[in-house]
Amino acid sequence: MSVTPLRALPLDELRQRSSSKWRTYPADILPLFVAETDFPLAPAISAALERAVRLGDTGYTPPDPGIARAFAGFAERRFGWTVDPTRVRTTGDVMIGVVELLRAVTSPGDRVVITPPVYPPFFDTVIEAGAEVERVPLVPPSPDDAGGRWRLDLPGIEAALAAGARAVLLCNPHNPTGTVHTRDDLAELARIAARHGAAVVSDEIHSPLVHPGVRFTPFLDASEEAARIGYAVTSASKAFNLAGLKCALMVTADERTAAVVKALPWEVEWRTGLFGALAGIAAFSPESDEWLDGLHAALDDNRRLLADLLAEHVPAARYRIPDAGFLAWVDLTELGWGDNPAAKIRREAKVAFHIGPYFGTEGAGHVRINFGCSPEVLREAVERVGALVRR
């Protein structure tokens, strides 16, 4: 059955928004940097928020707002993953959950493995939790292999854990590469972590946005060992553009890990926004599945369009079409625009991409492009870069 792609909102309407994407730079700059999308809210979410405003339902979030059950239903429908709602606890956002879980599973000064290039807050949250960053970069695909995939450096992670690292902070699907780690790799990661008595905290915020033909494996569902030593943190905020409403989920699949989450301070849960919980319930409901399918169709078109546009206008760019999400990791090293080509592009082409080196030293010469926009905006952005290349 064919799905009609969602249409992004027009630029003049988007520029009325007050969020970071639209207020960080002047109006002459096309913003394709921060991970906000340009689509209208899912109707079920709009209805839930409008009802709350009409009722003045703006108080504290209750102990059980219903989002754990809603997420369990979503996980079963979309991933074939059975989640026990009693092992789901809320907090304000995914990075709050990550910090609190790392505090719970490490001691001050312990080392935590991250896999750069990776979402910039990973570096900061490890430090905020009182631990130290242990970098084990992803293994990049061969430049000659157009269909190649980024992979976890499993021997490197094992060496780090054998040398004393106490946890792995996983990004699955991975930001910025868009990689969806395979079940086999996740199961092997779990075996390695279990062998060394380490925990795995998996950020799965992009999981609702896995593209056609790709199978997402939740870390906790990868194996019995993964269920025993893992923690997942997720949210509706990326797929449904709800970051400002502040609600994320910490999920466990074992009695021992559930006890760790239950023992977190009450304040961790109190940081949950009521509007975030209400919107998340609506997002995870079957009523929003059709909207999400339309978003998938739009993003699938755009990830392929970006490949065509770069080939036409910026042929020196290297880009692997991502498995998930609306973020593209693009290597512009061959243009000779330095470690941070985003600065030149923003200054001279009036397009804001995310800064590659923020994702680690592996990001030198790279940019991250948000293609969660209209095809017209994406085309205009790449054409502006192409004009800069031809100067």
| Pair (83, 20) in one structural domain | no
| Pair (151, 240) in one structural domain | yes
| Pair (276, 294) in one structural domain | no
Average pLDDT over residues 103-116: 98
For residue 192, the surrounding DSSP H or E stretch is helix 183-195
Average pLDDT over residues 308-327: 98
Q: Which residues pair with 231 in a beta bridge?
A: 201
pLDDT digits (tens, 9 = 90+) for 121-168: 999 999 999 999 999 999 999 876 656 789 999 999 999 999 999 999
Tokens 């512009």 sit on residue: 332
Q: Which of 271, 286, 301 is at the close of a domain? A: 286
| Pair (261, 339) in one structural domain | no
What is the average pLDDT score of the chain?
97
Q: Which residues pair with 91 in a beta bridge?
A: 248
Indicate whether 1 belongs to any domain.
Answer: no
CA–CA distances in Å: residue 206 to residues 211, 237, 333: 11, 9, 27
Indicate whether 3 belongs to any domain.
Answer: no
Backbone phi, then psi, for 357, in 5-degree steps?
A: -65, -20
| Pair (108, 216) in one structural domain | yes
What 3-state class would DSSP assign to 120? Answer: coil
pLDDT, position 148: 78
pLDDT, position 41: 98
| Pair (227, 373) in one structural domain | no
Q: Which of 221, 252, 286 is at the close of a domain? A: 286
Query: For residues 237 and 241, what is the distance between their CA atoms, to the nearest angstrom?
Result: 5
Cis peptide bond prior to 173, omega within 30° of 0: yes
| Pair (328, 232) in one structural domain | no
User: 209: which 2 tokens?
Assistant: 């946005």
pLDDT, position 1: 66
| Pair (172, 234) in one structural domain | yes
Displacement of CA 123 from its chain's centroid (Å): 15
Average pLDDT over residues 339-349: 98
pLDDT, position 111: 98
pLDDT, position 145: 64
The phi-psi region of residue 349 (left if phi > 0; otherwise alpha if psi is between -120 and 50; otherwise beta) is alpha
Displacement of CA 150 from its chain's centroid (Å): 16
Average pLDDT over residues 167-196: 98
Indicate whether 4 belongs to any domain.
Answer: no
pLDDT at residue 38 above 70?
yes
pLDDT, position 143: 73
DSSP state of 335: G
What 3-state class would DSSP assign to 167? Answer: strand
Percent of the chain with pLDDT over 90: 97
Average pLDDT over residues 79-105: 98
Vertex 170 angle, CA 165 and 172, to 5°: 165
Average pLDDT over residues 301-317: 98
**Residue 163: CB partners within 8 Å, gap ≥ 6?**
none
Range of the domain at 233: 46-286
User: 263: which 2 tokens?
Assistant: 């023992």
Q: Which residues pair with 133 in a beta bridge?
A: 112
pLDDT at residue 71 above 70?
yes
Indicate whether 316 belongs to any domain.
Answer: yes
pTM of the model: 0.97
Indicate whether 6 belongs to any domain.
Answer: no
Cis peptide bond prior to 341, omega within 30° of 0: no
Q: Which of 286, 320, 345 is at the close of a domain? A: 286
Measured in residues, the chain has a length of: 391
Average pLDDT over residues 247-271: 97
Name the domain count of the chain.
2
